[in-house]
A and B are shown apart, each in its own frame.
Chain A
């Protein structure tokens, strides 16, 4: 059998392979994801930054537009004599009505929440609409000299007593280089600014733009927040909240950064200052929303690589299983072979055992037969003597008496032959080989075992056969036995013989260093079963005899270096080939 790697070695190998694959896949997955994350974050930062800058740009444009609008307004006011005139003498009357109309027109034109005309101290003289709450100035107005040169400027976000947030442009109204009062263009941030700030290029759930400014140790939120619409100017955060993006902006940090928003939610935002103002614009988005694709990507990456890992594991498992199957099959084959070997060996052992038992039985039988035979020979000898005596005495006895004496004599001889067989079988033949001439041997055999007269004996013996080398007594016994058997096969009882099948053929031929003596009969032949037991002791197909003849013959022949070969078929007769060593030519 081929040596199979052990199951545990394969397991270790495959487990190692799996670990390597798992590590490789994990690293690949991690690299893939982290690359994607880096790229994605860069993209997000770019986007947020782009949004913030765009808004800042537009905010600046818008402010510029507001200032320009205010400039036009005061230039127009300067040109209109009624307004300086009114400011010099603010009295109700026709002049005041004209100015009021102009203010109304300006408000409508500019879309202002209100338009005020104030004195140098900021006190409201006229307003459009007329019933608008009086302009309450917060913080110092610029001094007249400064206002003269500076032109229109923004009054930053402030809260009116009515609670509304205002953003105003303050424009000095002058005459002949003397500031007479101020035109206040009150902008409603909720009307334009806040919606603009809250615009986002794409629909989102959390994106917004903040406008904050620093006030001392706080940052103040200037616009209405997406999640806190009332926060404008009300929501203030201490600078200590350094996690908050607005605070960080207030502390001077710029650029895209991660942090918290006013709700304490993790966000990413771009912090950009608005030029020409204290404002800081923050375009930000919840990390949860912004990084949702990342989480999605992470999930899908994990999923894909887990699937790959599972696939790898499956492949390795299949390999392992196949290996196991092969090993198992090899093992089964091996065990089957082993089983076959064991059963073959068992069969051999049983056969040997049976043979041993048979041999032992035969040995016991042989000893017993030897003993009994010996004891029988004495009485047989006495009977033979007695018969011989009677035959000698009764020479003129009646024929019947003589016939019976002959019968006794012949039967004694037969009994003696049986005993002789038993005795030969009981002892181990010790051949005393000599040169044996085949002709002389045949003569002796045919004398000792004469074929019945009805048998047609046919001899086919070449002239120049070399002499045999064997114990002549043994050869005589063997050949005699075979001849006798052949005769009895053709004529089992006296008078029973098919004349067409009565030929006994004796032939001889050289076969290498042996002489082959063939005894061929025309008897009934033998079945395969009979052939198998042919040389077993106590096996006989004959009516008479105890079945030792061929067993003894085989033993004697083999002791002399010879062997038997038998061919036979039922109905075809048998051929007994006796192979005997020839005398070596020196």
Chain B
């Protein structure tokens, strides 16, 4: 899939990251995992991802901080934040920092795929 969207999945829970990567790969995306905000930033500098899906609570930098950093790096890049338990404040901060959506775990895969399809379509419309 030459025009498949690059997606970075960020979660310190390796199983969470790998299952999502597998699902996204199965759905036709090029997906890879990072296990910390730091790793994610490093990878994002190297690769222009079409979308980043990140957990909020992680050791070191949080997902919300990652969103801010990624927006500086690649403004306009859609970011999905996931949380096992987000306080309303966290959700609000996440959305303010530029995240497209904040979803609670367990993720509803079909909703995620719908969102990604929309993002991809939008990008295709933008680029095409």
The residues of B with any CB-CB pair to A shorter than 8 Å are: 13, 15-16, 19-20, 22-23, 26-27, 82, 84-85, 87-88, 104-107, 109
Q: Does A412 contact B (CB under 8 A)?
A: yes
**Minimum distance in angstroms from A410 CB to a CB of chain B:** 12
In the complex, per-residue mask of A383-395: 1 if CB is within 8 Å of any chain B CB, else 0: 1111011001100
* B-chain residues with CB within 8 Å of residue A383 when the two chains form the complex: 106
A370, A382, A427: which contacts B13 (Cβ < 8 A)? A382
Please measure, in the bound complex, the distance between the C-alpha atom of A392 and the C-alpha atom of B82, giving whole angstroms.
Answer: 21
Contact B13 A378 (CB under 8 A): yes
Docked-complex contact A381 and B88, CB < 8 angstroms? no
Query: Is A389 a contact partner of B19 (Cβ separation < 8 A)?
Result: yes
Task: Say yes or no: A382 contacts B16, CB within 8 Å.
Answer: yes
* Contact between A392 and B85, CB atoms less than 8 A apart: no
Contacts of B104 in A (CB 8 A): 377, 420
- Find out whether the CB atom of B16 lies under 8 angstroms from the CB atom of A381: yes
Q: How far is the CA of A375 from the CA of B84 in the complex (A)?
A: 7
Contact A378 B19 (CB under 8 A): no
Contact in complex: A380, B105 (CB < 8 Å): yes
How far apart are A349's CB and chain B's nearest CB, in angstroms? 35
**Which chain A residues have a beta carbon within 8 Å of chain B's beta carbons?**
370, 373-375, 377-378, 380-386, 388-389, 392-393, 412, 416, 420, 423, 427, 430
Asked if B87 contacts A427 (CB within 8 A), the reply is: yes
Is A378 a contact partner of B16 (Cβ separation < 8 A)? yes
Task: Among A377, A385, A386, A393, point to the contact of B84 (Cβ < 8 A).
Answer: A377
Please report the C-alpha to C-alpha distance between residue A412 and residue B107 in the assembled complex, in whole angstroms. Answer: 11
Return chain A residues, CB-CB under 8 Å to B109: 384-385, 388
**Are B87 and A382 in touch, CB under 8 angstroms?**
no
Q: In whole angstroms, what is the CA distance A423 to B104 when docked? A: 12
Q: Is the CB of A412 within 8 A of B84?
A: no
* 6 A-B pairs closest in CB distance: A385-B19, A384-B106, A381-B105, A377-B84, A374-B85, A381-B106
Provide the bound-state CA to CA distance between A373 and B109, in Å.
20
User: Do residues B84 and A374 form an inter-chain contact, with CB atoms below 8 A?
Assistant: yes
Instruction: Please give, as numbers and ranges, the residues of chain B lying within 8 Å of A386 by CB-CB distance.
Output: 19
A74 to B113, CA, bound (A): 188
Q: Are A392 and B26 in contact (CB under 8 A)?
A: yes
Report Cα–Cα, A382/B15, bound state, in Å: 6
B contact residues around A423 at 8 Å (CB): 85
| Contact in complex: B85, A412 (CB < 8 Å) | no
Chain A residues in 8 Å Cβ range of B84: 373-375, 377-378, 381
Structural contact, A384 and B107, CB atoms closer than 8 A: yes
How distant is the Cα of A374 from the Cα of B16 in the complex, in angstroms?
Answer: 14
Contact of A377 among B15, B85, B87 (CB under 8 A): B85
Q: Given known contacts A373-B84, A374-B85, A382-B16, what 8 new A-B pairs fall within 8 Å (CB)?
A: A381-B84, A381-B106, A382-B13, A384-B107, A385-B109, A388-B23, A389-B26, A412-B106
Most chain A beta-carbon neighbours within 10 Å: one of B13, B23, B27, B105? B105
**A374 vs B15: C-alpha distance when bound (angstroms):** 16
Q: State whether A385 touches B88 (Cβ < 8 A).
A: no
A139 to B82, CA, bound (A): 169
Known: A385-B16, A389-B26, A392-B23. A430 touches B106 (CB 8 A): no
Shortest distance from the beta carbon of A543 to any chain B beta carbon, whole Å: 25
How far in angstroms is the closest Cβ of chain A from B24? 10
Contacts of B106 in A (CB 8 A): 377, 380-381, 383-385, 412, 416
18 contacts between A and B (CB under 8 A): A373-B84, A374-B84, A374-B85, A377-B85, A377-B105, A378-B13, A380-B105, A381-B105, A384-B107, A385-B19, A385-B20, A385-B106, A385-B107, A388-B23, A388-B109, A389-B26, A392-B27, A423-B85
Assembly CA distance A388 to B20 (angstroms):
9
CA distance A72 to B9 in the complex (A): 184
Given the complex, which residues of B lie within 8 Å of A380, measured CB to CB?
105-106
Residue on A with the closest CB to B85?
Answer: A374
A382 to B13, CA, bound (A): 9
Which of B19, B106, B109 counts the most chain A CB atoms within 10 A? B106
